[in-house]
Structures are given as C-alpha cells and as structure tokens.
Amino acid sequence: MQRKADFRLMHWLNSQEDTYQLVIYECDYTATNWTRRCLSQADAIIVVACGDQKPRKAFCLLMNI
C-alpha cells in the first residue's frame, strides 16, 4: 500500500514540475525521507533562518545529507 502511495505522490509531483515553471518544496528540519526527496528534486536550495540565532545542530547535519 505504501509503495502505491509513494508512486502516486511521485507521479503527481512530476506532473506539477512538468506543468509549472517553479515548484517549491518545503522540507523538514531533520533528515526524513521527505527531506531527502525534496533535496533530490531541487535545482536550487534556499535556506531561511533567523539571523540572530545560531544554526541548529539538526540543520548542520541536514546539510550533510
């Protein structure tokens, strides 16, 4: 059941990328399967953070995926 859902999701995401010039994925702060999928689909990555705070350890680990 999960594989079928994953296939349907990937098909839908690919369809969105074919239809629209820009698709924005919002990933998690941790190294989840969704985060890996977002990063693998990315042509560019934009990191948004608070400038007055130190980076979270999880974010630093995430950048090493």
| 3-state secondary structure at position 13 | helix
Question: What does the alpha-carbon distance between residue 5 and residue 1 come to, in Å, rounded to a whole number?
Answer: 6
Encode pLDDT of 9-64 as tens digits: 999 999 999 999 999 999 887 778 888 889 888 999 887 777 887 766 656 656 66
Q: Is 11 within the bounds of a domain?
A: no
pLDDT attached to residue 58: 59
37: how many CB neighbours lie within 10 A of its CB?
Answer: 16
pLDDT attached to residue 8: 92
Q: Is 2 within the bounds of a domain?
A: no
Q: Is 49 within the bounds of a domain?
A: yes
**Residue span of the structural domain in which 44 resides:** 23-65
Q: Is 12 within the bounds of a domain?
A: no
Q: Is 7 within the bounds of a domain?
A: no
Q: Is 18 within the bounds of a domain?
A: no
The predicted model scores a pTM of 0.66
Conformation bin of residue 12: beta by default, left when phi > 0, alpha when psi is -120 to 50: alpha
Q: Is 4 within the bounds of a domain?
A: no
> How many domains does the chain contain in total?
1
